[in-house]
Amino acid sequence: MSHPSNLNHQANWIGYLGVSNDEYSTHLGQHDIKIAWHKTTKDVKEIPDIMDLQRPARDYNMSSRDPTINIEAGLLKIYTRKHDQCNVCKLSAREHVLNKVKRLINCYSYEELSITIEGHSLGGGLAMISAYDNIKIGLACEDGCVIPLWVFSFSGPRVGKIRFKQRLERLEVKGLRVVNKHDFEVQTRLIQKLGDYFWSYWHVGEEIILDHKISPSLKEMHNLTYITYLEVSRERKRIFDSKARGHKFGEKRN
């Protein structure tokens, strides 16, 4: 997947969406729609809201009639914000994802389907919100069966209060949250022993807590963005080498 050529300072590449090919789908026994969110460095101004404020999901035009479903305001802004002055931002990240998912469901309406949503860091919080949003709009196959949905959050924050957690559990969303106990995102949330107060945050699904200080297999560094930079650098070098040798560069990478 390539970046649009008309990105500007208001746009930020924050995720990918695709579907498993026929070979891998045969292995899985179904076509899997994958949504991957990563963190963004453009929205640092939203960090105070992410840390402290919760707002009802329905205030952001999300399909929730329950006023007690509260989610971090900063994440909701990132998920639902749009800019009319930007060609690629006239639709919000939410609208882009929901439109694409609906199109893929229609395309594979008579086949077995599943949806997997995953995210790292801030993207882990967006993955949880996206899972709630996708399941709330009533995604279903042509024959009426419910599409199973899994969500994986890596080093991501808790994103909502206990009503948000309970609602996802009632909707049978399967979640796994993997965290390093020393990560900044983990330490900035009020822990659930505070109880059902309006400002408390709860994790969704199963939680695996890792500690890099006692494990020889874990690295302390939290920021995985450098991997993207390494990949881009390697890709550019490969393009240069290919052109220098007079070869055509256009092969598809795995």
- DSSP three-state, residue 209: strand
Is 2 noted as a catalytic residue in this protein? no
b or e along 212-221 (b: 16 or more beta carbons within 10 Å of the residue's beta carbon)?
Answer: beeeeeeeee
Other Cβ atoms closer than 10 A to 54: 22
CA 244 to each of CA 130, 235, 250, 252: distance values in angstroms, whole numbers, following the listed order:
44, 14, 14, 19
- Catalytic pick from 64, 92, 183, 203? 183
- Catalytic pick from 121, 153, 155, 200? 121
Q: Which of 115, 102, 100 is nearest to 1 (CA)?
A: 100
Is 222 noted as a catalytic residue in this protein? yes
Is 109 noted as a catalytic residue in this protein? no
Q: Which of 74, 3, 83 is nearest to 43 (CA)?
A: 74
b or e along 240-254 (b: 16 or more beta carbons within 10 Å of the residue's beta carbon)?
Answer: eeeeeeeeeeeeeee
The residues carrying an active-site annotation are 121, 183, 222
